[in-house]
Amino acid sequence: MSFDQPADDDDPASRNRLHVAVIMDGNGRWAKNRGWPRLVGHRKGAERVRQLVSACPEIGIRYLTLYAFSTENWKRSTEEVLGLMALFERYIKREANRMSREGVRMRIIGERTTLNPKLAAMFDWIEAETACNDRVHLTVAINYGGRDEIRRATQAVAQKVRDGQLDPDQITDAVIGGHLDTHALPDPDLVVRTSGETRISNFLPWQAAYAEYVFTPTLWPDFTPQEMSNILTEFELRERRFGGAK
Ligand code: FPP
């Protein structure tokens, strides 16, 4: 297979491989509580993203995956959808230099082909621009849905079977994982959701099968690197058995 695989566990450069995924929820409520438009909450949320990414090496996060726009979020008002898309574009433009300075590799997952071509081209650009960075792996899920991702992967695998490149018996978990948008990433160790909601909302259902979950009442625009650090301290105390016995 020609997929780029996650770095080898034994590689000393990748000793610290913690992967934390975050469902950033509560921007709208944060703004509403202050009588402000929802987009102000998203803007504040983008500032929190910037802070958290910069704090990752200190906190001990190597892979940070953020849920920024789901396949269901298109149901929101046109103003909010366009505002969010503009925010993603601005974030990439403004943060490109800092990401290079801080060794951040940025990837975008989700269905890209149906997005505005200018935005999709910007995603291609930032991925290429930061491709050599390895200190922090920032992945942002935009137009992402877990079932949609699995459907697209299944279609790609089925196509290979039809073309005679793959036998059905050869379809292993690794083959399916290798066709997901996250094929270059390790599975998340921990999924955090802010704002008190206790759903996973179609976020990384395949990849997070063995992840730990933490739900915090904090609204995303109030979520600090310090809170993430506290959550990790708690996470380290949990015993992960991956289905095995004690
Ligand atoms: C959920 O809160 C949040 C979103 C749908 C958008 C997340 C986007 C950001 C944090 C902004 C920037 C991100 C990047 C990567 C630059 P909500 O609006 O559903 O909140 P509510 O449940 O209180 O209404």
pLDDT of residue 11: 42
What is the Å distance from ligand 1's center to 3 Cα?
31
- Which of the listed residues 23, 34, 42 should we mutate to test ligand 1's pocket, taking the one with most ligand atoms within 8 A of CB? 42
* Nearest CA residue ID for atom 4, ligand 1: 68
Residue 106 belongs to a domain: yes
* Mean of pLDDT values over 182-203: 98
Percent residues over pLDDT 70 in the chain = 92
Tell me the residue ranges of DSSP E strands in the chain.
19-23, 63-70, 104-109, 136-144, 190-193, 212-215
* Mean of pLDDT values over 205-226: 98
What is the Å distance from ligand 1's center to 224 Cα?
15
Phi-psi region of 191 (alpha: psi -120 to 50; beta: other; left: phi over 0): beta
Confidence of residue 238 (pLDDT cuts 50, 70, 90): confident
Into how many domains does the chain fold? Answer: 1
Question: Rounded to the nearest 5 degrees, what angle is found at the Cα of 173, between the Cα atoms of 214 and 197?
Answer: 20
Residue 168 belongs to a domain: no
Q: Is it the case that residue 4 has pLDDT exceeding 60?
A: no
DSSP letter at 10 equals: T
Q: How far apart are CA 67 and CA 53, in angstroms?
A: 14
Q: What is the dihedral of CA 59, 109, 205, 242, to 10 degrees?
A: -40
**Is residue 130 within 8 Å of residue 99, measured between CB atoms?**
yes
Q: List, for residues 76-109, the tens digit of each pLDDT value.
A: 999 999 999 999 999 999 999 999 999 999 999 9
Closest atom of ligand 1 relative to the 142 alpha carbon: 15
Percent residues over pLDDT 90 in the chain = 89
Amino acid code (one letter) for 182 = T
Q: How far apart are CA 68 and CA 49, in angstroms?
A: 10
* Mean of pLDDT values over 216-221: 98
Report the mean per-residue pLDDT for the chain.
93
Range with the lowest mean pLDDT among 15-19, 104-108, 222-226?
A: 15-19
Residue 243 belongs to a domain: no
Q: List, for residues 116-167, the tens digit of each pLDDT value.
A: 999 999 999 999 999 999 999 999 999 999 999 999 999 999 999 999 999 9
Residue 165 belongs to a domain: no
Q: How far apart are CA 188 and CA 169, in angstroms?
A: 27
Q: Is it the case that residue 193 has pLDDT exceeding 80?
A: yes
DSSP letter at 228 equals: H
- Spatial strand order of the sheet with 136-144 comes to 104-109, 136-144, 63-70, 19-23, 190-193, 212-215
pTM score above 0.85: yes
Question: Rounded to the nearest 5 degrees, what angle is found at the Cα of 127, between the Cα atoms of 121 and 132?
Answer: 150
Task: Check which CATH number belongs to the domain holding 126 and give it.
Answer: 3.40.1180.10
Told to judge if 10 belongs to the known catalytic residues of this protein, a careful annotator would answer: no
Residue 55 belongs to a domain: yes
Question: Which of the pair, 237 or 111, is modelled with greater confidence?
Answer: 111
Told to judge if 25 belongs to the known catalytic residues of this protein, a careful annotator would answer: yes
Residue 91 belongs to a domain: yes
* Nearest CA residue ID for atom 14, ligand 1: 46
Q: How far apart are CA 62 and CA 14, in angstroms?
A: 8
Q: List, for residues 22-37, the tens digit of each pLDDT value.
A: 999 999 999 999 999 9
- Please provide the distance, in angstroms rounded to a whole number, between the alpha carbons at the two ends of the chain: 35
Q: What range defines the domain where residue 44 resides?
A: 14-145+188-235
Q: Is it the case that residue 245 has pLDDT exceeding 80?
A: no
Residue 1 belongs to a domain: no
Residue 21 belongs to a domain: yes
pLDDT of residue 2: 33
